Amino acid sequence: MWDIYQGDIGWNVYSFVRRTNTTKATLNLDDFTQALVRRKPIGNDKYVSGIEAGTEVFQGKGRLDTKAYSVDIG
């Protein structure tokens, strides 16, 4: 389960924040983009121009240990 936040840093940013911690994840980018299309903040004519992973710390401190990171397009 994910919470979705929208921000504006000169362009629209959509952050999907996990509701629980995890030690490993394999994610399908299409699931995230289709969630945005269904909720209507973006149309299905848009495209992804960047992908980032990190922490969204709301209180306390956060930590992200990454051993591997890859993105497959195709």
Residue 25 is assigned to a structural domain of this protein: yes
The span from the CA of 15 to the CA of 3, in Å, is 8
Give mean pLDDT in consecutive 10-residue pieces for the chain, a chain of 74 residues.
Answer: 91 88 84 91 85 79 80 74
pTM: 0.73
Residue 61 is assigned to a structural domain of this protein: no
Q: What residues make up the domain containing 29?
A: 2-39
Q: What's the total number of domains in the chain?
A: 1
Write down the pLDDT at residue 41: 87
Write 52-61 long-range contacts (CB < 8 A, 24+). Answer: 56/5, 56/15, 56/17
Residue 51 is assigned to a structural domain of this protein: no
The span from the CA of 18 to the CA of 58, in Å, is 12
Residue 35 is assigned to a structural domain of this protein: yes
